[in-house]
Structure 1
Amino acid sequence: MHVRVKKLIGTLATVVFLIVYCLMVMVLAVKLLPGTSGVVQLLYYVVTGLIWVIPVGALISWMHR
């Protein structure tokens, strides 16, 4: 597979993944976080804000192989 095609597929997959991931994180936050303390909410957003890096990093690694 050509590098340009891999980068196109990887870019589109990244955009779609991030949109779906953000929507899922927001839905879970609405269901899980009401009534919790500010510290719990902060931890939730810190963890979910960093977790997306793992699959996107693997996708970028694939794109550059």
Structure 2
Amino acid sequence: MPLRLKKFIGTILIIILVLAYALIATTVASLTLATSPWWIHLLYFFLTGLLWILPAMLIIKWMAGPKAR
């Protein structure tokens, strides 16, 4: 697969990932954290704000292709 096509597909996948992840994380927070104290909200959004990076890293690694030797 050409590198330009991989990068285009990867970019679209990352955009979909971020939008879906934000929607799911916010929905879960609003359904489960409604009566929680502020520090639970802070901890939840801090952790979920960092957690999306893991699947994004896999997509970026795939986009880069094999390592040059």
TM range (shorter): over 0.9
Deviating above 2 A after TM superposition, structure 1's stretches of 4 or more consecutive aligned residues are none
Fraction of identical pairs, as percent: 34
1:57 matched to 2:50? The reply is no
Q: Secondary structure at the residue paired with 2:36? A: coil
Which has more radius of gyration? 2
Alignment of 1:36-51 (within 5 A): 36-51=36-51
What is the RMSD of the two structures over their aligned residues, measured on CA atoms? Answer: 0.5
CA deviations over 1:6-60 (Å, ceiling 9, x no partner): 0000000000111111000110011011110111110000000000000001100
Compute the TM-score of the two structures, normalised by the length of structure 2. 0.91
Partner residue, 1:27: 27
Identify unmatched segments of 5+ residues in structure 2: none
> How many correspondences in the alignment?
65
